[in-house]
Structure formats: C-alpha cells, structure tokens
Structure 1
Amino acid sequence: MSAPTSSRPALPAQPSYAAVLRVPHARRTFGAALVARLSYGTVSLAVLLSVTRATGSYAVSGAVMSLFGGAAVFLMPLRASLVDRHGPRRALLPMAILYGSFLCALAALTWRPGAPAPLIAAAAALTGACAPPLGPTMRTLWAELVTDRGLLPRAYSLDGVAEELLFVSGPALVGVLVGCAPPASGILLSALLNTAGTCAFVTSPAMTGPRPTTPRGKGSGGVRGLLPPVAVATGVGLALSGIELLVLAFAAERSYDTALVPWVLGALSAGSAAGGLVNGAVRWRTPARVRLCRFAAGFGLTIAAAGLAPNLWTLTAAVACAGAFIAPALTTAYLLADETATEGARTRAGAWVNTGVNAGSSGGALVTGALIGRMPLGLCFLLAGGVAVMAAVVAGPWRRRAA
C-alpha cells in the first residue's frame, strides 16, 4: 500500500543570506564593491596620520579632514545623479581614476614632513569631491539583481553588515601597515583598493546602463517620500557620533583606563552587526516606515538610558543593545528610499540617506564636544538619545495621514 500523501501546500522557503549570494552575478559584483569600499574604511585614518606627520599640527589635520569629508559627503548626491544619468560603467570609472590620482598626489605631498598646508588641503578637497558613490550604487544594483522582493531586505542587511565590518577592519589594516611603512602608504593602499575594486565592479555582467529619467516636474512625490529615511539617517548619525565622545568622557570621569574605550565602541559595532543579521532574517509584516520609526526610537531610548549606567561594564552592555538598532534602522532607511524613489533616481535617493548619516555624524561630534563639561554627562546621553527619538517623530507615518 502506498504511503499517504499530504494535501497541505508546501510552505515557501525562508529567504537566507546564502540565497542572496546565489543570485546570478551577486558574488562577483558584491565582492568587487566591497574591495572598493574598503578604501573608505582605510582612507580617513591614513589621511589623518599622514597630514599630522607632514605638518606637525592637529589643527591643520582637523581642517584637512573637514574639507575631505565635507566634499565627499555633501557632493555625493550630485555624483550619484551622474550614475543615474549615465550608468555606473560610464560614471564610476572616471570618478575612481580621479579619486585614485588625487589620493596619490596627497600621498606624495605628505610622504615627508614640510609640505605646504594649503596645497595639502586643496588635494584633500579635490579627492573627496571625486569619491565614487559605491554604496548607493551597490544598493541600487541589489534592487535590480534580486527579483524576489522578499529577499531584498536580506540583501540590504548583508550589505549593511559588511559595510560595518569594513569600517572596523579598515583602520586595523592601516595600523598594521604604518608599523612598517610611512603613514602615507595607507593613502596609496586606499587608492589601489578603490581603483582596482571599481574596475572589477563596473565590468561585472550585472552592471546596467543609464536608467530612465523622470520628466521634469514629475516624481515630486518621490522627493517628499525621502523625508522619513533621510530624517532618521540624520538623527541616527547625530546620536551615533555623540556616543563615541560620551563613552570617552564617561571613562575619564570615573577614572577608567581610556584604553578600554575601543572595546566599548567595539560592542556597539558588534551589536549593530548582530541586529542587522537578525533584521534581515525576520520576515516583517509591518510597513517599512513603521519599522523605521520604531528602530530609531529604540535606538534613542536605549542611548538615553545608557547615561544611567553605574559603571563601564553596564555601559558596555547598554551600548551593545543600542547598537542592535543601528543597522536595522539604516537598512530600513535605504529600503524605504528605494521604494519611494522614481526609476531614474534610485542611486541619488540612496545617496541622500548616506549624506544624512555622514552629515549627522559630523554635526553630532561638534555639538557633543561643545556640551560635554558644560552639563551633566547623564543629560548629554539624554540629549543624544532624544535626537534619534525626535527623528522618529518627524518620520512618523501619522504625518502622511495628516497631509
């Protein structure tokens, strides 16, 4: 007698990270993008060390880093619009060649002490202005490579976690390199990684041509739709940059060894990576905008509560819990930006979210540094968390109903 057969329909397979990497051309494209993006994890520390050694001035180093970061961040939407208009192959490669060339010039200027500061500053500003928008381009490609919409959140989570690890491993790589070579060698390494990785990236079979553009005067709804993800990204960036200074001040105020601070910040990164992996593994039923606000509010409330920590070990646990909201919030922001953007503006939409994170990080460090010492540390934690909560309020779905 034959075995009875079940009449129940088979459940759909749970999307997995392995399934993301099995998508045709995904491994090659993603791997090349990660090599190129590792340059952004190595370049900041390399430039800082090189300029400090060449000029002997921390003030000059800070100014150079501000010019480099400002040009890279605030011109990113413009560079991303070139990718949307002309396609990644035609737009990214010239940017990478210019970026690598200016990095080489900067390395030559800072190889030995004595270079004129204005010339270094000009080279740094030109370098930042040409940085290829590899993160936004890769996220746009994920939306094209992954035809299963249920798998796309996993792809974005994988991308976000990998980017988090790049910014952790990049400075460590520079630290190893400068142990046996001048700091400017780290700048040359950054140039090599970006140029070689971008060349491999744009030659991938997954690379597409120019995307259809939206006629002038249309698609304004996509612009309005970017407010929630950009607001949350900016709020998270503001709070995130403040945490680093607050942890350092917490350790100094309670006479802990400041050498323990990197371990606390490492817990923040570990929490973010874990949260990103879990976020991608869950099959969410709530809308992306609702999740975005919840993640931002959770991040802010946890940071505010961290100011009540009685010792550094409790603070480390609180910071790790706060980190668990970072990658989910940013991943959801990128997803929402992609959903609301018009067909010809997806890369630019992702670039605006990226700009919000980085602009918030720059402003948050400035404001937090000014507040520390002028008010109790617990209140500084509360204000840092309140910024993220306020961003969640601004991005709330009730604003759409009110409109």
Structure 2
Amino acid sequence: MSVQPVARPTYAAVLQLPYARRTFAAALLGRLAYGIVPLSVMLAVTRATGSYAVAGTAMALFGGTGVFLSPVRAALVDRHGPRRALVPMAAAHAGMLGLLTALVWRPGAVPPLVVGAVTAAAGACTPPLGPAMRAVWGRLTRDRELLQRAYGLDGVAEELLFVSGPLVVGVLAGFAPPAAGIVLGTSLLAAGTAGFVRSPAVRAAGPAGRVPRARRAAAPRGALRGVRRPVLAAAGVGLALGAVDLVVVAFAGQRHHGDAAVAWTLAALSAGSAAGGLFNGAVAWRTPARARLPLTVAGLTPPLLGAALAPGLGTLALALAAAGFFVAPALTTAYLSADEAAAPEARVRAGAWVNTGVNAGSTAGAAGAGVLLGGLSTALCFTAAAAAALLTALVTAWGAARADREAQEAAPAV
C-alpha cells in the first residue's frame, strides 16, 4: 500500500488518507465497548451477588489483567500481525464475557471465585484496538505533522467514547438488566474488531516475526529503549487524574452535592481535554514531541493548584476544564514520542506501554488519594496531584536532556 504525501496537514486530510475512515470507524466501534463493558460488569456482578466486595474484586481483576497484560498482547500483535493476533483475542474475550453474562444474568447464588476467574480471564484477552489503530496511523502517513493530527483526532475520539459509554449503559439500564450492557459491549467489540482486521490498511500490515534473531534479542534494549520517558510521563498524568477523580467525589460529598454534580464536574475535565486535544493537533509545532512532552505535563500543575483554592463546584469545574486542556495534548505527545522512539516492529508495543502507564498511574493515584483523604483536606490532595504532575515533568525533562547529551557524545566527530 503506497503512502501519499499530503500538501496541507489538517484533520480533513487525516480522514482522506487511504482507508482511514473505514479503519478508524471500525476501531472506534470496537473501542466503544471499553466504555460500556466495565460499568456493565460492575453493575451486573453487584446485582447478581448482592456484594460490593465481590463486585469490587471482580473489577480489580478485570482491570488489572487488562492493563498489565496489555504489553504482552501488543507484542503478539507486533509479532504475528493484527489479523492473526486480534481475532483470537477478540474471540476469547467475547467467550469469557458471554460466560460471565450467563453467570450474572439473574440474581442468585453465584460463586465469587468463579466470577473472579472469569472476569480476570476476560480482561486478559482484551484486544488492544487502541494501540493497533495508532500503529496503523503510522503506516498510513510518514508526515509527522499529519501523524500528530491523526493522534490528536484519535485521542479526542477516545475521550468521547469513554464519556458516552457510561451514558449508553445508563440508558440501557432503564429497560434491561445490567448484563444486557455486557452483551451490547461484546457485540460492538466483535463487530469493530472484525471490521478493523478486514480493512486493507490492516491487511497490508504483516507480522514482525521474520525480524532477524539478533535484532529480536536486542528488542527489549533497543526497539523500546526510548519509550521509557513517554511511559513515565503518561503514568504521571494518570496518577494526577486518578487522584483528581476521587478528590472530586470527596469535595462534592463534603458540600452535600449528589452524584450528578460529580459527573458534571468531571465532564468539564473531559471537555477541556477534548478541546486541548483538537488545539494541539491543529498547531504546526516546530519543536519535537520529546521536547514538548514535559511542558504539556507541567501544564497540569497551575490548574490543579487552582482547584485546591476553589470555593465551590462551579470554580472547581472551571479549574478542571483548564487542567483537562493539557491532558489530551500530554497523552498525544507521549504516544508520538513513543512512536518516534520505537523500532517499526515494536510500534504496537510502544503504544500499549504508554496506555499501560496511564492506567497504572490512574490506579495508583486513586489508591493514593484514598489514603490521603483520610487525614488531609481536599485542597491539600489537589495540591499533591499538582505536585505529582510537576515532579513527573521535571523527571521527564531531565531524562530527555540526558538522552540528548548521550546522543551528542555518541555521534561521530566531524
């Protein structure tokens, strides 16, 4: 498949790339399940077992195996190609979710160990459609500015999917049991994966399994060596966001606001992220992604300090919208940096590691905020989130400067 140069890199030009709309639409259809299935599983397990502890454990297993095995699944995609790897993963994932649906369709005596085992297995098989789609963007265009816009568009769309997914579950819950959401999400994932792997843009992507043995042996050290900094940056962003989510809940509870107020406040964060992602993708940056990365992460710090000073939900929502303006740019830049640093046969893994960093950081941030809220005010907890973002930016900048010095020293003298 030939890659055509683009005269003017715009969002419209991204969608005009060969097979881009078809491939992107299929990937988004499948990724919508990521916003539907987890909430549906939590609600269905809670109703079936009558235990929040069992539901929480099941969700921890589902999310844990999904997040921490993501690089392993991405390595399979890199090694064997999207078609040969994604289809078996999607089939296994759908099978486990189908079994879980049968277990929790009606309230009753459901063995907690069985529920935990099935949810863990389902999470372990989740196909990495997001990293796979970002790798396809890299194959569709060699223009770095156009790739930046493609990643920006991808990030904004993903943000909207994670907002709309729970809304779909809420509508569905009005006339169907929670397990119906699992069925819907499974169907979307299966259809999206099928459409994705059938796209000519994906079919043209061969496996990297024929890479010479010596090169494969050096892959952990060479192919992914430069990915550490973007993964660290993504983890720092996730850490701050995970903490903010829980602190907002505590902030609203202390002022006797309901869950709807929490949802709208966090929606301001998502709206700011979407706006920031579109702006970041539209700007023709002159500095490379690795240099912009610590700056975008550091941009979270002032708004989060403003959130610490917010007297009410209105001003808190404004502060979080301002913080969100840097979230999508930071993550998009992290994906770009990882893509630039990784070898061609490791692009899916590079994106998966960044994704893992975000999710692992978010989990750690929520856990840390839970501990801090036991003895500190919400203002100090927001300050701690701001400090985490700033520290991450400083470490990332130091790492980038060190890498540049090492590259200059290794360069041959002229």
| Interval of TM-score (by shorter of Structure 1 and Structure 2) | over 0.9
Structure 2 residue 32 is matched with structure 1 residue 32: no
User: Unmatched 5+ residue regions in structure 1?
Assistant: 1-11
Q: Report the equivalent of 2:315.
A: 314
Instruction: Report % sequence identity.
Output: 58
Partner of 2:409 in structure 1?
A: none
Q: Deviations over 1:254-281 (max 9, x none)?
A: 3444431111111100000000000000
Q: Distance in 2 between matches of 1:210 and 1:367?
A: 40
CA separation of 1:228 and 1:197: change in aligned 2, threshold 3 A: same
**1:57-68 counterparts in 2 under 5 A?**
57-68=51-62
Contact 1:307 1:381 in 2 (8 A): yes
The Cα shift of 1:215 comes to 3.3
Correspondence for 1:165 = 160
Distance 1:281 1:21 in 2: 14
The equivalent residue for 1:352 is 353
1:195 aligns with 2:198: no
Partner residue of 2:402? 399
Are 2:198 and 1:209 aligned? no
1:132 counterpart = 2:127: yes
Contact between 1:101 and 1:191, CA under 8 Å: does it hold in 2? no
Aligned-residue CA RMSD in angstroms?
1.4
Letter in 1 for 2:135: T
1:4: which partner in 2? none
User: Secondary structure at the residue paired with 1:150?
Assistant: helix
Structure 1 residue 401 displacement after superposition:
4.3
C-alpha deviation, 1:388, in angstroms: 1.4
- Inter-partner Cα distance in structure 2 for 1:44 and 1:69: 8
Shift of the 310–218 alpha-carbon distance from structure 1 to 2, 3 Å rule, reads closer
Residue of structure 2 equivalent to 1:5: none
Supply the distance in 1 between the matched residues of 2:345 and 2:403 (Cα, whole angstroms). 24
User: 1:115-143: CA deviations, max 9, x gaps?
Assistant: 11111111100000100011000000000
Q: Distance in 2 between matches of 1:174 and 1:218?
A: 41
Out of 80, 84, 96, the residue aligned to residue 86 of structure 1 is 80
Shift of 1:174: 1.0
What is the Cα deviation at residue 44 of structure 1?
0.8
Q: Secondary structure of 2:389's match?
A: helix
1:220 Cα deviation after fit: 2.3
The structural deviation recorded for 1:147 is 3.1
Counterpart CA distance in 2 for 1:291 and 1:148 is: 18
Matches for 1:313-392 after TM superposition, within 5 Å: 313-392=314-393
Pairing 1:247-262 to 2, within 5 Å after superposition = 247-262=248-263
Query: How far apart, CA to CA, are the structure 1 residues paired with 2:358 and 2:373?
Result: 22
Please give the alpha-carbon distance, in whole angstroms, between the structure 2 residues aligned to 1:40 and 1:335. Answer: 22
TM-score (norm 1): 0.94
Q: How many residues align?
A: 392
Q: Is the 8 A contact 1:301 1:386 kept in 2?
A: no
CA distance in 1, matches of 2:172, 2:126: 23
User: How big is the shift at 1:149?
Assistant: 2.4
Measured in 1, the distance between the counterparts of 2:40 and 2:235 equals: 26
Aligned to 1:77: 71
Unaligned runs of 5+ in 2: 1-5, 407-414
Residue pairs, 1:258-269, within 5 angstroms: 258-269=259-270
Say whether the 8 Å CA contact 1:87–1:209 is kept in structure 2. yes
Alpha carbons 2:224, 2:346 under 8 Å: kept: no
Task: Give 3-state SS (helix, strand or coil) of 1:151's partner.
Answer: helix
**2:14 & 2:131 partners in 1: Cα distance?**
18
1:112 correspondence with 2:106: yes
The farther-off stretch of 129-138 and 147-156 is 147-156
Choose 388-397 or 54-63, whichever is displaced more: 388-397
Paired residues of 1:219 and 1:342 also in contact (CA < 8 A): no
Q: Matched residues in 1 for 2:7 and 2:148: separation?
A: 15
Structure 1 contact 301–389 (Cα < 8 Å) conserved:
no
1:43 and 2:46 matched: no
| Structure 1 residues 312 and 146: alpha-carbon distance in aligned structure 2, compared to 1, 3 A threshold | same
Q: CA deviation at 1:74?
A: 0.4
Q: Distance in 2 between matches of 1:66 and 1:171?
A: 18
Deviation sequence 1:335-394 (CA, Å, 0-9, x none): 000000012111001100000011111111111011113012211111111111111112
Pair 1:58–1:235, CA change in 2 (3 A): same
CA distance in 1, matches of 2:119, 2:259: 31
State how far apart, in whole Å, the 2-side matches of 1:217 and 1:255 are: 56
Q: In the aligned structure 2, how far is the partner of 1:380 from the partner of 1:218? A: 40
Q: 1:6-27: CA deviations, max 9, x gaps?
A: xxxxxx9542111100101000
- Please give the alpha-carbon distance, in whole angstroms, between the structure 2 residues aligned to 1:257 and 1:64: 26
